[in-house]
Amino acid sequence: MRKFILYFLLILLLVAVGMFSYGFWNASLIRGLARGLADIKSSHDFSGEISEIEKNFRDSSKKDVSRIRDESRQFAAKLDEIVTESGATEKEISGLKAPKMAQDAKETAAGYYRKVGKQAGDLKEIISYMSQIIEVAAVFGEIGESASLDEMRNLIARAKEKADAVKTETLPNDLQSSAQNLKESMSTFLAKMEEVAELKSENTSELDASYGDFSQKEDEFFTSAKKYIDGMEDLNIIEGRISADIERLGKVKFSLR
């Protein structure tokens, strides 16, 4: 009986030592995850860049066409980089070891970069669509007062070709309807311009009306796009939660979870 009790106590001691060792080892894994998340966060900070691009988009109505065209190309390229990099960062986080206690923090961080990629992708599509519309409108700027009939015909044909190539299906679902309305209105305006240029119609009131509708649809899309961007989730809140998780987990000295 005494031997049995001694064996039992020995087993309890071994279990206790094992649990004690596991608790310290597990805590080291938790702190390791915290360090990994901190390194990733400092190396892949996109929130400021996206906010700056959003601000520039809202202020675009105050800029001339050439500046908008140049900035749109730069922003689209930058957002494309963010989409790619945030996707790679999400995978990097998914590959980190996370004990149960740190699992929520890991998922929050991965979800953050997933949302960054989604927002950057949506913003890129909005800017790309507006760039296509601007490219069509820019053709009109090439029509001078002394342009010949043939020159006008060629420019209108170029504008129609660009208008036909405008894509709406990659935009966020909430914006596809107003984008399609703008595209159709633009095509109608170009058709009326072509009729006047070809001398098929001398009724400029229809041309004026179609231009008015085009301008209205352009304003409606820009308003819808601005509302969509303003309604995007504030990722700074999640970023603050990640920082809090990193600080909390970095202080863990012992954990069985």
> How confident is the model over 98-141, as pLDDT tens digits?
788 888 998 999 999 999 999 999 999 998 898 888 888 777 76
- List the single range of 34-38, 79-83, 185-189 with lowest mean pLDDT: 34-38
Contacts of residue 236, Cβ cutoff 8 Å, sequence gap at least 6:
47
Q: What angle do CA 130, 132, 136 make, to 5 degrees?
A: 115
Query: Cα separation of 127 and 216, whole Å?
Result: 19
- List helix spans (H) across the chain: 2-43, 47-58, 65-94, 100-140, 149-164, 173-197, 204-230, 235-249
Cβ–Cβ under 8 Å, residues 201 and 195:
yes
| Token reading at 7 | 């064996």
24-65 tens-digit pLDDT: 666 777 887 788 888 988 888 877 777 777 777 666 655 566
Using alpha carbons, list the distances in angstroms from residue 79 to 52, 53, 54, 71.
11, 9, 11, 12
d(CA 81, CA 169): 21
pLDDT at 196 over 50: yes
The SS3 of residue 99 is coil
Q: Determine the average pLDDT of the residues in 148-156.
A: 80
Q: Is the pLDDT assigned to residue 252 strictly greater than 80?
A: no
Query: What percentage of the chain reaches a pLDDT higher than 90?
Result: 26
Distance separating alpha carbons of residues 239 and 245, to the nearest angstrom: 10
98 backbone φψ class: left, alpha, beta (φ>0; ψ -120 to 50): beta
Percent of the chain scored above 70 by pLDDT?
79
Place of tokens 């179609």: 210
Is the whole-model pTM more than 0.95?
no
